Homo-oligomer: A and B are copies of this chain.
Amino acid sequence: MTIATALEALSTFLGDRLSRSKSDLAAHGQSESYFLPTPPDAVAWPETTEDVTEIMRICNEHGCPVTPWGAGTSLEGHALAVRGGLSLDFSRMNALLEIHPEDLDAVVQPGLTREELNRDLRATGLFFPVDPGANASLGGMAATRASGTTTVRYGTMADNVLGLQIVLADGRVIRTGTRARKSASGYDMTRLFVGSEGTLGIITELTLRLHGQPEAISAAICAFDEIGAAVDCVIATIQSGIKVARIEFVDAATAAAVNAYSAGSFAEKPHLLIEFHGSPQTVAEESQRLGELVDDMGGEGFRWSTKPEDRSALWEMRHTAYWAILASRKGARAVVTDLCVPISRLAEAVEETRADIAASPIPGPILGHMGDGNFHAILLIHDDAPDELAAAKALSHRMVERALRMGGTVTGEHGVGMGKLDYMQAEHGDAWALMGDIKQVLDPKGILNPGKLVPQL
């Protein structure tokens, strides 16, 4: 009853759907972050829910850890098999199973990525809004309760998952939720699994809420002299009820990085990037309202456009920002921080963070989904300078403390994984022990993504 005996049984069952090759292990031992490579003992590629059921039955019997793997883009070491065992790769379970255009929902397998889904939906007039920067898997997005640029309008994964099929630790299969828009039928099991990071059960199917592609879209960009003014403009926008579909912030360092990376010509100042969705009249009206607000608050160069090419250029900037920042310091790796505060404290939180980074030895451009009160510093460190990792961790630590002090949360969207484990007690107090109790009931042997999210036994 060890990992070794489990892998024997798994190998018999899975055949070439199981691999122990060095390259496969290495590929599943990497993360998009500063965590050291941590290869699992084996990688399995289930192709059906029945495969997952049998895998879990075997692993539960043998006490073998199982860590699901979606697209591997999570930032807190979530998908690393830190206690060894199996990495469960969902890339072969990536079908779009059903679309119900009349009900605005779709049923998908967890390995489907958000970009694939939206490509497949294009002709239907519908889309799925949640967009973490990376081309993540929908299973991974549900597991991390992901959100993104459109959350200010369309919500997070918690708002856009109607139901799940889950394989439990012991191989039992359950369904949560229905295709009805709402329900008061018992505990909200769907929302318990959304954000549980693979520690409570394996997602093998998702029913997702879709939205109509907006009739018209307008986008706008504007620059500010000071970070404070840009943030104040976000706050005023939200508070005055202007219905933005996106309102993103990038600082001067980010604008500079993008210019260098893709020959842009953005003013090297803090910017807001904004989008409206609606009827042609609504987007025109709301864009104008926002334009007036921006003027009042000292923003420059505000102009809005409904032309797709203008819009693409603008969001291209936002979406390459992370890679542009990475490229801005040769040979650097990123420690990506994440916090979310009540909107009234946003200016203060950003200013303090900026000053703190300025006083540190490392660069750290700031950007974020400011409409939600959520932002990130991308701290750039060199591997061969261990004091830089220490500096980054200290900055991240102070950001987290700042978030808690201001009534916010230690992670707005990236999740806990390993990186935020040390802050769970501070944020949740006794409620964290309760999370551990719930984990214990659903996974008594502790085989589901051990080492993450809950108190460690």
Contact = CB atoms under 8 A, between A and B. Distances in A.
Interface of A: 100-105, 144-147, 151, 156, 158-159, 168, 172-176, 178-189, 191-192, 194-196, 200, 212, 215, 235, 238-241, 279, 281-282, 285, 338, 340-344, 372-374, 403, 407-416, 420, 424, 427-432, 434-435, 437-438, 440-442, 453-454
B192 A187 contact: yes
A188 B435 CA distance: 9
Nearest to A213: B241
Contact of A281 (B192, B281, B344, B430): B281
Given A179-B342, A186-B435, A212-B241, 11 more contacts: A102-B235, A102-B239, A102-B344, A158-B188, A174-B431, A179-B407, A180-B374, A181-B373, A187-B438, A192-B192, A434-B442
Given A174-B429, A241-B212, A344-B100, A185 B285 contact: no
A432 B186 contact: yes
Contacts of A440: 441
A179 B146 contact: no
Given A104-B239, A145-B188, A431-B176, A182 B412 contact: yes
Which of A186, A194, A372, A430 gathers the greatest number of chain B CB atoms within 10 Å?
A186
Contact of A151 (B104, B182, B342, B413): B182
8 contacts: A173-B430, A180-B340, A184-B416, A185-B428, A187-B453, A189-B431, A281-B282, A441-B441
A416 B185 contact: yes
B100 A342 contact: yes
Shortest 6 CB-CB contacts between residues of A and residues of B: A183-B409, A191-B191, A102-B344, A212-B241, A180-B340, A180-B408
B180 A342 contact: yes
A232 to B, nearest CB: 11
Which has the most chain B C-beta neighbours within 10 Å: A151, A235, A428? Answer: A428
Contacts of A104: 238-239, 343
Contact of A188 (B103, B180, B181, B195): B195
What is the count of identical protomers in the complex?
2
A154 to B, nearest CB: 12
Nearest to A338: B184
Nearest to A190: B191
B178 A409 contact: yes
Contacts of A435: 186-187, 189
Contacts of A172: 430
A343 B103 contact: yes
Given A103-B342, A343-B181, A175 B431 contact: yes
Contact of A414 (B173, B184, B438): B184
A285 B283 CA distance: 12
A185 B409 contact: yes
A344 B105 CA distance: 11
Contacts of A416: 184-186
A411 B373 contact: no
A200 B191 CA distance: 16
A412 B180 contact: yes
Contacts of A428: 174-176, 185-186, 189
Centre residue among A179, A212, A338, A442 by max chain B CB count within 10 A:
A179
Nearest to A173: B430
B185 A156 contact: no
Contacts of A373: 180-181
Contacts of A420: 185
Given A158-B188, A343-B102, A183 B441 contact: no
Contact of A413 (B158, B184, B281, B341): B184
A158 B191 contact: yes
A415 B239 CA distance: 34
Nearest to A437: B441
A407 B178 CA distance: 6
A374 B342 CA distance: 33
Contact of A183 (B102, B215, B340): B340
A192 B188 contact: yes
A76 to B, nearest CB: 9
A185 B427 contact: yes
Contact of A408 (B178, B195, B413): B178
A408 B434 CA distance: 31
A451 to B, nearest CB: 15
